[in-house]
Structure 1
């Protein structure tokens, strides 16, 4: 491609090195510096701002498979957390034009303002094929060290995700009350929403929660209190919850023994609903095990089947770990399966009714096929209060 036609021609050089010795050279379209992380990919065509601000990406360098990213800009309404938590961002081409009536700025300016390193102009198809073949790998993204051998060595010595408690890096320090509902794009209309002190009270355990989750819960007329993921069962029950929600979050769920203990104590006391990391933690609290997927599930086009109805949902997913089916205890039944690899995508506790899914029904971004799960949680809280 002629230099004059290269949209990144004037940008500083950036390099991405993988632990297997592969190095990609491109241009910096974000902040300068150097970061390490597990290099993964996401197959979504849109929703890059939601991906950037999803705390579940903490410790990861995210590659977008869609070739042009940034064409509709960024805006405050679509953020999923107060700031990006991912380590770095990789795209084929970063659009120089932000064309959308909702746009409040360019992607590149957003990356710089939030100190996110990003590289463009590399062959993302080759990178994604390598990850699919070899599995997710540790990597280093740099604009300051451009020596290939040095970067490869840094990648080999960087920490992986297994055994690390990344949740502590993204969860809130204190409890808070959530009052924001959904915007006009995904508004939920209830026939007779509860109000005031009579409304169900949902306590969300925040392990790195996307904000569209409490928006959905609040939009259904609930009072919502957010507690850090380290909160004890006693602290949670002091809130007098109608139900407890277990959020998504980054990394390996097995080191979070404090959460396993808390959830096990909550199960006999209150309705429980978990998403993604919350799904894995519910399973671990019941005695199951988890394992690391080869390259994970990340995208807005993941097919899942609800076993009771045979209905297929197209779902948003973002996880690198899954529940091991062979370790599933008798108290849990499988409710959903991922149709790409047949892994467990949902479970239900046979005795307490607690349930969880290995995907994101709040769909930010993504399809709305799975909104019914919030209604299922609502119904369970209502039935418990009437018992």
Structure 2
């Protein structure tokens, strides 16, 4: 590669982190967040839930085991920039550059993570070449950009039309795509489900014609998703339903709960969650910046052992359940894998 330019990350509070450009030229704006996963960098960048975000990896080296198409969670990257302490391999840098992703290494990722933990996730800009945009001008641009609160992003990442993902299985499952990860489809197919994927806003009658409905993960603030919430509300009780991540939050809104922005979110593959029914602790994969506000009700099934936030619901009368974490674990520990398999088996038994 040619000599790499000096770049920087600038936060909306004026904090500047110098770095070295290792991928695409230009500048990228987004919400700056951090993930604590030690592996899964390619899955992270292609996860649609990272749309609109600049991702800081807390692992000291990123890119050290290369890239492969089998690790893609979607066809293209959705994270707007990658921030690393040390680049671990040229294949990773080239892969990012070919896809137009700004990436900086030699960033003080420890200092950045501590800043975000203390002050919360912030808007920021990653600049690949400091000679093209001075920090004062970058700061003005950053502060003019919208915040993540109030941002409805699912329309940018959802499928525009229904499609069949797998056509053989014991049960027929409809998946509503709010920013769907491929590993969810793989786990459903492996469990024995024939899967049809629907856009983020669709006809509740179409969903209710299946044996079960899965509400997928996705990016942005759930509160502005009025039509998506309406579809969930009008489908609840008609067919068994499982929500994951944003799907969990939409199920919360559809059952008269509220959502809130977390200070810096949960992102990584090492988040402990208590299953209140069994007393078992699951180590889970997570990626979210919003959460459902706790209530005094009995429908909460899982809670985070980090901050006590709601991590799961069960509504037996509606045949609905949800989890805030990612049971497909792409990437991450397999503690929560049985959730998807068990749900598909329940659908088959009910049929």
Q: TM-score range by the shorter chain?
A: over 0.9
Q: Do residues 299 (structure 1) and 263 (structure 2) align?
A: no
Give the match for residue 223 of structure 1. 194
Q: Is the 8 A contact 1:37 1:159 kept in 2?
A: no
Structure 2 matches for 1:73-152, cutoff 5 A?
A: 73-96=66-89, 106-143=91-128, 145-152=132-139
What does the per-residue CA deviation read over 1:100-150, in whole Å, with 9 as the maximum and x for residues that have no partner? xxxxxx111110111111111121111111000000000011225331111
Structure 2 matches for 1:310-329, cutoff 5 A?
A: 310-326=279-295
Bigger drift between 226-235 and 57-66 goes to 226-235
Give the match for residue 183 of structure 2. 212
Give the match for residue 172 of structure 2. 201
TM-score by length of 1: 0.87
TM-score by length of 2: 0.96
Deviation of residue 9 (structure 1)? 9.7
Deviation of residue 155 (structure 1)? 1.5
Name the SS of the counterpart of 2:23 in structure 1. Answer: coil
What does the per-residue CA deviation read over 1:135-172, in whole Å, with 9 as the maximum and x for residues that have no partner? 00000112253311111122211111111110011111
Q: Which runs of 4+ in 1 moved over 4 A?
A: none
What does the per-residue CA deviation read over 1:38-64, in whole Å, with 9 as the maximum and x for residues that have no partner? 000000111000001000000100000
Q: Is the 8 A contact 2:74 2:182 kept in 1?
A: yes
Return the match for 2:155 from 168, 181, 189: 168
Return the match for 1:66 from 55, 59, 70: 59
Change (3 A) 1:96 1:218: closer
Bigger drift between 21-30 and 132-141 goes to 21-30
Q: Is the 8 A contact 1:276 1:359 kept in 2?
A: yes
Q: Point out the structure with max Rg over C-alpha.
A: 1
Q: Do residues 177 (structure 1) and 141 (structure 2) align?
A: no
Deviation of residue 314 (structure 1)? 0.4
**How far, CA to CA, are the matches of 1:263 and 1:383 in structure 2?**
24
- How many pairs were matched up? 349
Q: Is the 8 A contact 1:139 1:158 kept in 2?
A: no
Cα RMSD (Å) of the superposition?
A: 1.6
**How far, CA to CA, are the matches of 1:44 and 1:139 in structure 2?**
21
Structure 1 residue ranges without an equivalent (≥5) = 1-7, 98-105, 180-194
Q: Is the 8 A contact 1:53 1:80 kept in 2?
A: yes
